[in-house]
Chain A
């Protein structure tokens, strides 16, 4: 109950704090409202197939690189990304692929949907992992009995 007995100066300060808090939350509300569309920009190939092909939104697509589709044709990398729901999407990428991109491995790309339902990737992301471990090494450690991973 001490708060009630505080002097007016402190009450004023408290009101001031509330105003700052209100301003902050309001600006954040505005920002998130304006960017509602862009927040949900990570889509799966299945979702991408269902989407309006004319939308020129910048999107992020994640999935697995479909086996036997990773090819270098006409100065571009071509591959397909598939997901568990059976959807797949053709992707073109005109830069060099990062090291860890392999068939049947996970991949994340960013870019725009182009014509002929080909996704034009601008960025391909590679995940780097401190827990990376070659399979041969894991086997070796298992034999030695010092493997503590899964």
Chain B
């Protein structure tokens, strides 16, 4: 029933889209907007149908058999929808149409919606032709389903993929708005305001999605920690960087009519980079720790979609060169600083892009397979980010379009930062941490000064202030946790002691080994505790054996000690001994707190508009 319905709705939607393009909407539905509603609903409903199919374990759907297990908990059953390639493309279509539907409330210009619908129809065709989740199978009552990949059975699997997708797809609205503006040459402010609103929405979800993914990778063994420069991480970073640049340049465009074409072109490329990134990982052209669909045909279809978007963009780029207006602002003004920030952000995005696609390029043209890893990014990316971070301390205080006298306070702040960084170097004797302090300190110093000076400003000021400050805190926390983590291994023999002394003077006690049976897995749990000054910290790393596959996963257990964290895993568990690997990660929680503050800051700036 559901497979039939899902397919039918998609075919009807395509039919409606054709009617819309033929311009018969008015004749048949009285109003084009009514037809638009139908089309958008046609893109929204199939996803909900599949969700229902998963919820009731309808094993007449092949996708349900392949990705869910009858005894999985309900929320894993539902979220298994985006566990497969087909399901995530369906989610992609769902979100395009959802955003289109919401956008219809604030802007019902048919030309703009025409483009959203066109992109959506490309994805619908892609889904129907190459990755249809609504495939009907018969006579499969004996089957219990294959189950969701045990590694994906994590709370974050429920929210991380949809959040990231929300972030990617919200960029479609700035994309269509920008191409509409460039096509009609109507540079009115309301369009730019809508663009800013949607790129902020996207930024909120994108940042949140990346942070969630980062946290997930951190808490899973073998995924390379909180950031690893894996292609999948990179391709989510590229739209993030471009979108960050976009938000900044849009401020200039709205405030005093400058950098307009710059913003428009950025908007075009932000969305393309999001689609392109999805294509790269989905087509399996680039090897990543993640692995998705392996079918080259699927990749080919996505090439068509990207090709279309590129053609649109390049045509508009060429058009926009002709329309260059006169941007005039003085050298030391907010505008020029924001332009500088944009250039660095784009350059950073380019370095990430080049690092990510270089292996593909080299394989195609030099027949040699190479791999670009952390050493490249840590150098190239950080080199480009450092000037942005330094700019961030001072740019917000500079006034719009005014050639101010050079402010002496800048030099005082930089000198102060230099002193603090020297002190940290002598105290911690770590070069990288001292550099991080030097880069981050000016923002913190300026933030403290500014918050006292401009106490009663609007929310917008606070959101910007908080965003910049949290970036500074993030840098400090990230470098600190990477530079000062400590690792130790402990082996408890069967006949030996159950208390071991740790390097830092604390005691590690083996308390218990438990064996529990859950609905879809068996858990072997080791309970250890760290005794530090009468304080007890309990850790419970485990190994889970999943049904029906028999696959074993190694589960991490963490315990917080203020901003620091102990991170424990079972190295091995045998009949006569247990080996525990314990890592002390200092300030790691500060890293998560600053990331959440960053997400919260953009939330502040979104709600102030309402």
Binding site for B on A (CB under 8 A): 2, 6, 9-10, 13-14, 17, 20, 24, 27-28, 31-32, 34-35, 38-42, 58, 60, 72, 75-77, 94-101, 110, 123-134, 136-137, 140-141, 144, 146, 148
CA distance A125 to B231 in the complex (A): 14
- The answer to whether B222 and A17 have CB atoms under 8 Å apart is no
* CA A127 to CA B287, docked complex, whole Å: 10
Shortest distance from the beta carbon of A32 to any chain B beta carbon, whole Å: 7
Check if B321 sits within 8 Å of A98, measured CB to CB: no
Complex interface: chain B residues within 8 A of A34 (CB)? 379
Chain B residues whose C-beta falls within 8 Å of the C-beta of A129 in the assembled complex: 149, 291
Chain B residues within an 8 Å CB radius of A40: 370-371
A123 & B224 in contact (Cβ 8 Å cutoff): yes
B322 at the interface (CB under 8 A from A): yes
A99–B85 CB distance below 8 A:
no
- Also in contact, A137 and B553, with CB within 8 A (given A42-B370, A96-B571): no
* Cβ contact of A130, chosen from B152, B373, B376, B491, cutoff 8 A: B152
Decide if A42 touches B140 in the complex (CB within 8 Å).
Answer: no
**Is B221 within 8 A of A72, CB to CB?**
no
Extra A-B contacts (18), CB below 8 Å, given A13-B324, A140-B143 = A27-B347, A31-B351, A31-B379, A39-B370, A41-B373, A72-B579, A97-B571, A98-B223, A99-B551, A99-B553, A125-B223, A125-B224, A127-B289, A130-B84, A130-B291, A134-B146, A137-B548, A141-B65
Q: Does B350 contact A (CB under 8 A)?
A: yes
In the complex the two chains form, what is the Cα distance from A100 to B142 in whole Å?
29
Most chain B CB within a 10 A radius of its CB, from A17, A58, A146 = A146
B354 at the interface (CB under 8 A from A): yes
Q: Are A148 and B375 in contact (CB under 8 A)?
A: no
For B371, the chain A residues whose CB sits under 8 A away are: 39-42, 60
Chain B residue contacts of A32, Cβ below 8 A? 354
Q: Say yes or no: B324 contacts A95, CB within 8 Å.
A: no
Contact B549 A137 (CB under 8 A): yes
Residues of A within 8 A of B581 (CB): 94-96
Contact B149 A128 (CB under 8 A): yes
Given contacts A38-B375, A144-B143, A146-B65, contact A130 B571 (CB under 8 A): no
State whether the Cβ of B595 lies closer than 8 Å to any Cβ in chain A: no
Chain B interface residue count: which class? 35 or more
B139 within 8 A of A: yes
Q: Do B222 and A146 have beta carbons less than 8 Å apart?
A: no
B-side contacts of A141, CB under 8 Å = 65, 143, 146
* Contacting residues, chain A, for B373 (C-beta < 8 A): 38, 41-42, 60, 110
B487 within 8 A of A: yes
B372 at the interface (CB under 8 A from A): yes
In the bound complex, what is the Cα–Cα distance between A129 and B152 (angstroms)?
Answer: 9
A20: chain B residues at CB < 8 Å are: 343
B376 contacts A38, CB within 8 Å? yes
Contacts of B58-96 to chain A: CB distance below 8 A: 62, 65-66, 83-85
The main secondary structure of chain B at its interface with chain A is: mixed
Cross-chain contact B326 with A75 (CB below 8 angstroms): no
Contact of A97 among B139, B350, B554 (CB under 8 A): B554
21 interchain pairs (CB within 8 A)? A13-B321, A28-B354, A31-B351, A31-B380, A31-B383, A39-B371, A42-B371, A72-B571, A72-B574, A72-B579, A94-B581, A95-B487, A96-B554, A97-B554, A100-B222, A128-B151, A128-B223, A128-B289, A130-B293, A134-B146, A148-B62
With contact pairs A41-B371, A130-B291, A134-B551 given, residues A98 and B221 touching in the complex (Cβ less than 8 Å): yes
A65 shortest CB reach to chain B, Å: 14
Check if B85 sits within 8 Å of A130, measured CB to CB: yes
Q: B4 contacts the other chain (Cβ, under 8 Å)?
A: no
In this complex, the member of B222, B292, B574 whose beta carbon has the largest number of chain A beta carbons within 10 angstroms is B222
Name the residue of chain B whose CB is nearest to the CB of A122.
B487
| Interchain nearest-CB distance for A5 vs B (Å) | 11
Please determine whether B146 and A137 come into contact, CB atoms closer than 8 angstroms.
Answer: yes
Is B35 positioned at the interface, with any CB of A under 8 Å from its CB?
A: no
- B358 contacts the other chain (CB 8 A): yes
Q: Inside 8 A of A95's CB, which chain B residues have their CB? A: 487, 569, 571, 581, 583
B146 partner residues in chain A, CB cutoff 8 A: 133-134, 137, 141
Q: In the complex, A110 Cα to B228 Cα: how many Å?
A: 12
* B569 and A96 form a contact (CB under 8 A): yes
Closest-by-CB residue of A relative to B544 is A99
Please give, as numbers and ranges, the residues of chain B lying within 8 Å of A148 by CB-CB distance. 62
CB A19 to nearest CB in B, in angstroms, measures 11
In the complex, chain B residues whose CB is within 8 Å of the CB of A75: 489-491, 571, 579
A14 CB to closest chain B CB, in angstroms?
Answer: 7
B376-A128 in contact (CB<8A): no
Give the Cβ gap from A113 to chain B, nearest Cβ, in Å. Answer: 15
* A77-B370 Cα distance, complex, nearest whole Å: 28
Interface flag for B294 (CB, 8 Å): yes
User: With A96-B554, A129-B149 given, is the CB distance from A24 to B350 under 8 Å?
Assistant: yes
CB of B290 within 8 A of chain A?
A: yes
Residues B487 and A94 in contact, CB atoms below 8 Å apart:
yes
The one of B151, B290, B343, B375 that contacts A35, using a Cβ cutoff of 8 Å: B375
Whether, in the assembled complex, B256 has its beta carbon less than 8 Å from a beta carbon of chain A, the answer is no
Q: Chain B residues near A130 (CB, 8 Å)? A: 83-85, 149, 152, 291-293
State A38–B570 Cα separation when bound (angstroms).
33
B143–A94 contact, CB under 8 A?
no
Nearest 5 CB-CB pairs, A to B?
A: A98-B222, A126-B222, A42-B371, A134-B549, A96-B569
Q: Out of A60, A99, A133, name the residue touching B151 (CB < 8 Å).
A: A99
- CA–CA, A124 and B225, complex, Å: 11
Note all chain B residues with C-beta closer than 8 A to A128: 149, 151-152, 223, 289-291
Choose among B350, B354, B374, B548 the residue that contacts A134 (Cβ–Cβ < 8 A).
B548
Given contacts A76-B489, A125-B222, A128-B289, are A134 and B550 in contact (CB under 8 A)? yes
Residues of chain B with a CB closer than 8 A to A123's CB:
224-225
Of B146, B293, B346, most buried by chain A (CB within 10 Å of CB) is: B146
Q: Which residues of B contact A127 (CB under 8 A)?
A: 289-291
Chain A residues with CB under 8 A of B343: 20
Q: Shortest beta-carbon distance, B254 to chain A, in Å?
A: 21
Q: Are B554 and A58 interface neighbours, CB within 8 A?
A: no
Report how far A94 CA is from B486 CA in the complex, Å: 12
| Complex alpha-carbon distance, A41 and B376, angstroms | 10
Interchain CB contact under 8 A, B550 and A10: no
- Which residue on B lies nearest to A27, using beta carbons? B347
Tell me the bound Cα distance from A95 to B568 in angstroms. Answer: 10
Establish whether residues A58 and B375, one from each chain, have CB atoms under 8 Å apart when the complex forms. Answer: yes
Residues of A within 8 A of B294 (CB): 131
B50 to nearest A CB, angstroms? 16
Cβ–Cβ < 8 Å partners of B143 in chain A: 140-141, 144
